[in-house]
Amino acid sequence: MRYILKRIVTLIVTLILVSGITFLAFNVLPGDPALVMLGTDASPQKIVALRQELGLNESLPKRYVSWIENFVKGDLGKSIRFAEPVKDLVTKRIPVTFSLTIMSLLIIFIVAIPLGIFTAKKEGTVIDTVITVVCQINMAIPSFFLGIILMILFGVILKFFSPGRYVDYNQDFIGFLKYMIMPAIAIALPNISIVVKFLRASVIQQMKQDYVRTAYSKGNSENKILYRHILKNSLITIITLMGMIISEILGVSIIIEQLFGVPGIGSILIMAISTRDFPLTQDLVIYFAFIVVFINFLVDILYQVIDPRIRIR
Amino acid sequence: MKKHINWNLVVGLILTAFILVLMIIGFFYTPFDPNKMSVLEKFQSPNLRHLLGTDNFGRDILSRIITGTKTTLFVGTSTVVFGVFFGVLFGAIAGYTGGWIDELIMRMNDALTAFPGILLALVLVTVLGQGKYQIILALGIIFIPSYSRITRSGFLQVKELEFAKSAKVFGASPFRIMFVHILPNIYPALLSAITIGFSNAILAEASMSFLGFGVQPPDPSWGRMLSESQSYLFNAPWYAIAPGIIIIITVLGFNFISEGLRRKFG
Amino acid sequence: MSDTMLSVVNLSIGIESTNEINNAVNGISFNIKSGKILGLVGESGCGKSLTALALAGLLPTSVSINSGSIIFDGVELRGISKKEMRKLQGKEISMVFQEPMTSLNPLMTIGNQVAEGLRIHYKMKEREVKDKVLDVLKKVGLPRVKELYISYPHQLSGGMRQRVMIAIAIICRPKLIIADEPTTALDVTIQAQILKLLKDINREYKTTILFISHDLGVINQICDNVAVMYAGNIIEEGTTRNIFIHPIHQYTKGLIGSIPSREKKGKVLANIPGKVPPITEKKFGCGFAPRCEKSQEKCFVEYPNCVELSPNHKVWCYEAKIGSEMDDVII
């Protein structure tokens, strides 16, 4: 219990830090945000009006507090470029990004875990070397290039799917899923290699442990030992990795969304940045940061569940 | 005793050497002017004159790639140098001083790592504007945590060892302790991290340029070539393949070197 | 159950190391009669642990049996398929290891680890399995077995963990238990308890035990018979009484002479000069010859044949003659 409480405190502190830094970044660094947003040749009246609208004339701490208040209440203000309130823009898109992330994660684990264990089992053989090299190459391919290749391969040559023709999940759920598979694979592939690499190392190390020998002495087969005994111990390594991987997936999804024309939070972030829409960008960045911090928090808690040695503390 | 060849290192060095040669050639000669546009020669697929074909402006892709090598390597190197400099600095301070300064630096490290790198780069780009140097700053900051962590652990390890304590008693200056005692301990891990840092920097720069936020025209950049090629995927796929392959080769080269170093030093 | 539970004939075990195969165990032979406890004693590096692993079918991939045979309850173990061996492991032959701290899976409950043997070898209802596990935990002297069932290894002391290891070893009522230095990592007081536990198991279930140790004092307490190993060979074998009261081989004499005891108080403790030769050194003749004060030329050329001083006392030494057990009586 104490452990969880401690973690929650850290979570809140990190969130405050992150929001504070983001706020500073957008409101202090560029000098006068209104000026930057409108450009140098905007009329002074427009600038004053914008400053008024954004509440820029108030003191910094006051602005920060009111921003947080509004954020928590769900009022994210209005975007400058779009007429709609930010909130509406965003809520439509969250499920899209979320699905993409979940799909990628599923693909990663379904493929990487058996593959990692298999490679560890075959340590030293030709198959092991081949898989390791393939993974090395895989990690060197930028996700978006992978996306492009997948587009060429499946979109042009094999004509499995048509890039750009995104399907709304409200209208056709199956079609939505079918469209999302390509981007999910593009995100998943490099991460599969990373997980395989780490899992393989961890399993190989576990195989040398004494408790594995005890397990053999009971008459267990190799596969039973790998999946029943070793995997549990190796999972701990993977969970550490997971925090980092999710962070990376969220980052990469921004680019992939752009590439495949998926209307998620990532693509709107890009749009916001290109149009220098500070309030929108600010809020989206915070969304992202919050998700990442929260997921890391969950990963920490997961540690507790899996490893009984930490539990008692 | 069988001589054990470190294949990772060998392959990595060969690939990286190839890229370096490309860059050096680029200083003196490119088959065509990388920026010369020619409406007549638009969209040529790879042929004897244009070994990698031409793009939508009729520019020779091979020349653009060779020139792009300079830019990419410059950004990559600067990013790593920036990250290593500040990373080692902060790590050394944290490891040497300990106490609340150490705690503070470590917490900031953690906060930084938790953040997706691309997001941070985007934030900095929004606020500071687009371009080569902003990218270097943004990416450099992202790389600081890993180097500071390695340096700090090196410091912590050695701090406790007897000979460091006795060196201090003898009046050795902190600098001397750092360079003579600590550096030899951490340089394998640091070297490995630096080479991975190179490949990450190149991937990150390519990503940013792909989004349009990185290196600006007329500087050719592999990442931007990839983004430009997107619209022409159907009629000119080679336009996308060339920069993609060269990125893969470069990153692979550094990755193999890093893996080779890791195996060599255990 | 045959009269001789385990018969090892001319067993040689080799270790692969960069293009060479070195024999860590050089053609040893011994028998254990059903229900008896045989102690295998020797210094580190003499090959006793490898012998244990070979018998249990747990040799690592770089180590293999080069020649000889292992006959367990009438069945030849050498050459059987892995699948066949797995049927025996845990059920007919089980092993107790030296390090209780690392020999248990840290992420699995005690209950599940003890139950595993049952689940692998028998089809039982979960209720039955749990009952049997609780029974065996009580049998090995552990308290609060219901709590223990859901506890994890890190919550137990070394002595308790070793008891759990023994519980794992006996739950399927094996015919043979191989105990590899089971008490070496434990405190002396706990040691005595574990030894008593093993003796009780032997008495009650008539389980044959192969007990491996470098500690003669421990061997003396529990074993019916003793085989002494040196550098991959068995150099002397017999009942515990015979070996301890009139050891014949110079090495055995040295070992016994170096046991601290009250009678030797104040005197210089004997020790054997020299050290065990490394595995990589090729051996000709008796491995102990370089350190032996009674060595002759032929000791360095060919390994001595077995001299059977009595049905209960064999020695492999040129010095030994029938009747010589009357000399050199050491108490």
Instruction: Give ipTM to 2 decimals.
Output: 0.84
- Check residue C323 and report its DSSP letter: T
**pLDDT reading at A41 higher than 70:** no
Q: pLDDT digits over B200-258, tens only? A: 888 888 888 888 887 777 778 888 888 888 877 777 778 888 888 999 999 999 999 98
Residue of A nearest to B8 (CA): A133
A164-182 per-residue burial string, b: 16 or more CB within 10 A, e: under 16: eebbebeeeeeebeebbbb
**pLDDT reading at B181 higher than 80:** no
Comparing A1 with B110, which gets the higher pLDDT? B110
The half-sphere exposure of B13 on its side-chain side, counting CA atoms within 13 A, is 7
Q: pLDDT digits over A220-247, tens only? A: 898 889 888 888 888 888 887 887 888 8
pLDDT classification of A35: cutoffs 50, 70, 90: low
Please answer whether residues C55 and C178 qualify as being in contact, where contact means their C-beta atoms are separated by less than 8 angstroms. Answer: yes
The one-letter code for the residue type at C331 is: I
Calculate the alpha carbon distances from C135 to B50, B86, C147 in Å: 82, 63, 13
Q: pTM of the entire structure? A: 0.82
Instruction: Tell me if A217 and C152 make a contact (CB, 8 A cut-off).
Output: no
Tell me the C-alpha distance between A102 and A106, whole Å. Answer: 6
Least confident among A139-153, B123-137, C222-236: B123-137
Chains that touch C (3 or more CB pairs under 8 A): A
Chain B residues lying within 8 Å of A273, measured CB to CB:
122, 125-126, 213
Which of A214, A223, A230, A311 best probes binding to C when mutated, by most C CB atoms within 10 angstroms?
A: A214
B213, B237, B248 ranked by CB distance to A140: nearest: B248
Q: pLDDT digits over B65-99, tens only? A: 888 888 888 888 999 999 999 988 888 888 777 77
B211, B230, B255 ranked by CB distance to A270: nearest: B211
Tell me the C-alpha distance between B158 and B167, whole Å. Answer: 11
> Which stretch of DSSP H or E encloses residue A149?
helix A143-150
C88, C97, C120 ranked by CB distance to A214: nearest: C97
Q: Please, which residues 112-171 of chain A have a Cβ atom closer than 8 Å to chain B? A: 136-137, 139-145, 148-149, 151-152, 155-156
Q: pLDDT digits over B32-70, tens only? A: 777 777 777 777 777 777 777 777 777 888 888 888 888
**Whether A244 contacts chain B with CB within 8 A:** yes
Instruction: Tell me if A251 and B119 make a contact (CB, 8 A cut-off).
Output: yes
Point out which residues pair with C30 in neighbouring strands. C8
CA distance B130 to chain A (A): 10
Nearest to B122 by CA among A134, C145, A250: A250
**Whether C306 contacts chain A with CB within 8 A:** no
Chain B residues lying within 8 Å of A17, measured CB to CB:
111
Tell me the C-alpha distance between C162 and C98, whole Å. Answer: 9
DSSP H helix total and E strand total for chain B: 10, 0
Tell me the pLDDT of chain C (331 aa) as tens digits: 568 899 999 898 888 776 566 788 888 899 999 999 999 998 887 888 999 999 999 988 888 888 899 999 989 998 889 899 999 998 999 999 988 889 999 889 999 999 999 999 999 999 999 999 999 999 999 999 999 999 999 999 989 999 999 999 999 999 999 999 998 888 888 899 999 999 999 999 999 999 999 888 899 999 999 999 988 889 899 999 888 888 888 888 888 877 776 666 666 666 777 777 776 666 677 878 888 877 788 888 888 888 888 888 888 888 877 655 555 444 4
CA B144, B145, B146, B149 torsion-angle sign: positive
The angle, 0 to 180 degrees and rounded to 10, between the axes of the packed helices A2-27 and A60-73 is: 120
pLDDT at B1: 44
Mean pLDDT (chain A) is 79
Q: Tokens 């049952």 label which residue?
A: C118
pLDDT at A313: 40
**pLDDT reading at A118 higher than 90:** yes
Q: How far is CA B183 from the centre of its chain?
A: 22
Taken as a whole, chain B contains a residue count of 266
Tell me the C-alpha distance between C166 and C182, whole Å. Answer: 9
Instruction: Tell me if A14 and B123 make a contact (CB, 8 A cut-off).
Output: no
Q: pLDDT digits over A70-117, tens only? A: 666 665 555 555 556 666 777 778 888 888 888 899 999 899 999 999
